[in-house]
A = this chain, B = another copy of it.
Amino acid sequence: MKKINVSVIGATGYTGGELLKIFRRHPHVHVRHVTSESSPGKRLEEIHPSLRGQYDLVFEPMDVASLAEDTDIAFFALPHGVGIKPVAEFLRKGKKVIDLSADYRIRDGRVYEKWYNVKHQAETFLARAVYGLPEYYREAVKKADLIANPGCYATTSILAAAPLLKNQLVERDSLIVDAKSGVSGAGKKTALTYHFPEAAENFQAYNVAHHRHIPEIEQILSDISGSKSLITFVPHLVPMTRGILAVVYAKLRKKMSVEQLEAVYHRHYSGEPFIRVLSEGTLPQTKNVAHTNYCDVAVRVEARTGHVIVLAALDNLLKGASGQAVQNMNLMCGFRETEGLV
């Protein structure tokens, strides 16, 4: 099978680095260009030393016109806002785009602007974007030319909560998502909060009930459940590098046993290559999904209070970002969905 040419736009960060690690093992991908506004002219291994000896690439400045000439699919790993217009240009040139930023996730430009403080300068393209969560939008992904790759918190929360809503098992708006993420989720930009002496041996919540992924999660849960869904969302910073564990709490509409709920989840995700529903006795751990594209899910019940508890774990840089992006690429190109990912 012939290889496709891909370029990584904004390849100096963690998600860019993970994409390049995966492509190294992907039989159908040739990496054509890597771009960087901060380090044009530097060799790839100067920024990603672990990739030394595996690529012969130099960071280029982003020039959509020339890049588009020999690129089939562009992976955008730029900060929010920066890539809005370039993404649109790529599409205009008939190329496909997988955008790892939030720019094309929110269907309503005003909501995007409210949460990201950036005016969306390509709203007409919002309707073309397919939310790249294969477990719920697989067929649309196959036909898409623009993928809005989901956020890491959003992927975890939706994979955990959606079966409850889709099957109308819980009381509306009773959903609480207590999510915990490793520090790499904050990206490569330094800040005192992520300074080792501050982040190590420390645990804290942040953006309590006010995180940017809330509108994204609610939009998709509403879409899947068919009715407007609100959540109470509290993210936390865990003193580790990779991994997210989200714990979802909701009020059951009627008494259900853990066996019944596990059956629902097993049925719901049967055949999904990257969802592992764990049975009574085992619980998700971020270590078990680290460096993989899997999402482990388990269900529990607190019968005395009528609450269901769903736990989901994944690697925020893989199933929560770059791994899922490649899963989407595989679907768009007709490759084996798991190619390069297991």
Q: What is the interface of chain A, defined by CB distance below 8 A to chain B?
A: 14, 24-25, 49-50, 52-54, 173-174, 176, 178, 180, 182-184, 188, 190-192, 194-206, 208-209, 230-234, 236, 238-243, 245, 247, 249, 276, 282-292, 294, 296, 300-302, 304-307, 309, 311, 313, 342
Contact = CB atoms under 8 A, between A and B. Distances in A.
A323 to B, nearest CB: 14
A276 to B, nearest CB: 5
Given A208-B283, A240-B239, A282-B49, A195 B202 contact: no
Given A190-B192, A202-B243, A208-B311, 19 more contacts: A50-B287, A173-B306, A174-B305, A182-B201, A182-B203, A188-B197, A196-B199, A196-B239, A201-B241, A201-B290, A202-B240, A204-B285, A204-B287, A205-B247, A205-B284, A208-B283, A208-B309, A231-B305, A232-B305
A286 B203 CA distance: 6
B232 A309 contact: yes
B188 A190 contact: no
Nearest to A199: B196
Given A173-B305, A238-B203, A285-B203, A197 B209 contact: no
The complex is assembled from copies of this chain, and their number is 4
Contacts of A230: 304-305
User: What 7 A-B pairs have minimum CB-CB distances, sorted nearest first?
Assistant: A202-B287, A209-B302, A204-B285, A190-B190, A196-B199, A178-B178, A183-B196
Given A54-B342, A232-B249, A209 B300 contact: yes
B209 A309 contact: yes
A276 B204 contact: no
Contact of A287 (B182, B184, B198, B232): B198
Contacts of A203: 180, 182, 238, 240, 243, 245, 285-286, 313
Given A238-B238, A309-B209, A294 B199 contact: no
Contacts of A311: 205, 208
A271 B203 CA distance: 27
Nearest to A282: B49
Nearest to A291: B291
Given A24-B342, A176-B176, A342-B24, A52 B276 contact: yes
Nearest to A281: B46
